[in-house]
Amino acid sequence: MGCKLVKVFYILPLVFVLFAVAHAAPPYFFKGYVFVNGSLAPNGTIVEVFVNGASSSSGSAVVGAGQLTDTRDGWYTVGFEANVGDT
C-alpha cells in the first residue's frame, strides 16, 4: 500500500505540470527575408512583431546579429508567444 501511495505522490505533480504546459500559449516562430526599397535588408535592420495591433512589440530580431550571424542577407527569424487566432 505504501509503495502505491509513493507512486501516486510522484506522478500527480507531473500530471499537473503537463496539464499546465499543454494549456499555455504556444510560441510562434516566423522566418523569412526582409526587403527595403526592393533590395534585401542590410545587417542591423530591426524586425518587430506586433500582435493584434498592440502598441508594444511582442518580439523582435536584428538581421545579421546574434544567432543570425553568417546567414544570408536579409534573413530573419523571430519567436514570440501568442494565442490561436491572433493576427
Q: State pLDDT tens for residues 28-57.
A: 777 888 888 889 988 888 888 888 878 888
H or E segment and range at residue 60: strand 59-62
% of the chain at pLDDT higher than 90: 0
- Note the pTM of the prediction, 2 decimals: 0.56
Q: Is the pLDDT of residue 72 over 60?
A: yes
Give pLDDT, residue 9. 59
The residue extents of the domains of the chain are 25-87
Taking CA 78 as the corner, what is the angle to CA 75 and CA 83, rounded to the nearest 5 degrees?
A: 145
Q: Is the pLDDT of residue 21 over 60?
A: no
